Amino acid sequence: MEKFGRLGVLTIKQWLIVALSLGLSGQLWALDSTCFPKVDTSQPQYLVASGTLMLEASREKKLNKAEVELPVWVSGYERGWFVRVVEKAPKRTVLGVSKDEGKLFNGLLLASSDRQISSLDRNEHRTCRTLIDVKQLNSMAGGQLPEKGQIWIYVVKPKNKAKPAGKYPIQQSDVDNFLTGCLEQSKTFSLPQFAEQCVDTTVGWSENWTNDRERPSGGELVQNKRVQINKLLERLEGGLFEKVRDE
């Protein structure tokens, strides 16, 4: 009887732990829901891609799709190297978007679904998903913007926004992925200036920038558009890229 009594006590303790864990998870999810609003599944869903999702390989990996709706100008937001990654290696500063009236950048409008958005949400620890008004988008290739639906954009959390620094540099492999996507869209939509506009409408380029191109820190494949990317980066003021390339 004593053995069964002890077992019963242990079981109760275990159930209490499980209950508390479930309660905590529920609270965390409730907090997350303010950052990732519920999607209206009765409406078409769209995403604004500002960085790696402009790369076809990234869209296939994260969204299981390669097609793009159309390239767009996005107003009222700024794209830049200002999202700090501190919780996992490699620690660095990556590309992101913040709300900023009077600013704009070029990106892509992607048709999406509630499942794809939910999948992205689970991996977004430094951004929140927010609705953007279709009036803040302008088609760059003459295509028609959607008249109905929800359009979402991921915006950096204030606590995760910081300039590149010595311990948190820009990494060349991230730059290569970003600009390879821009070059792909330039060719797809016959927009010769699209990739240059990617450079020109991105802020935060910094001397805190490491060249990991030969051995990418994130384990990504080395891009095969080096010559084109190098030429784009030569646009940066002060010979900034020359210092990185010579590392």
Q: Which amino acid is it at 136?
A: Q
Cα–Cα distances in angstroms (integers) from residue 126 to residues 29, 156, 159, 235, 241, in the given order: 15, 6, 8, 29, 27
* pLDDT computed for residue 12 by the predictor: 47
What are the tens digits of pLDDT across the range 58-111?
898 888 876 778 999 999 999 999 999 998 888 999 999 999 999 999 999 999
Query: Pairing state of beta strands 70-85 and 202-203?
Result: parallel
- The angle formed by the CA atoms of residues 118, 121 and 112, to the nearest 5 degrees, is 50
Token pair of 194 as six digits? 């699209």
206 neighbors 170 (Cβ within 8 angstroms):
yes
Query: Taking all residues of the chain, what is their mean pLDDT, rounded to a whole number?
Result: 86
Nearest CA among 244, 127, 239, 118 for reference residue 174? 244
What are the tens digits of pLDDT across the range 185-235?
999 999 999 999 999 999 999 999 999 988 887 666 556 789 999 999 999
The class (CATH top level) of 45-245 is alpha beta
What are the tens digits of pLDDT across the range 97-154?
999 999 999 999 999 999 999 999 998 999 999 999 999 999 999 889 999 999 999 9
- E strand or H helix that includes residue 197: helix 194-200
Q: How confident is the model at residue 8 (pLDDT cuts 50, 70, 90)?
A: very low
Entry pTM: 0.83
Query: How many helices, marked H, and strands, marked E, lie in the chain?
Result: 7, 9
Token pair of 127 as six digits? 């951004």
- CA dist 107 and 74 (Å) reads 7
Any idea where the domains of the chain sit in the sequence?
Answer: 45-245
At 108, give phi and psi (nearest 5°). -125, 145
Token pair of 196 as six digits? 């240059």
Longest dimension (CA), the chain: 82
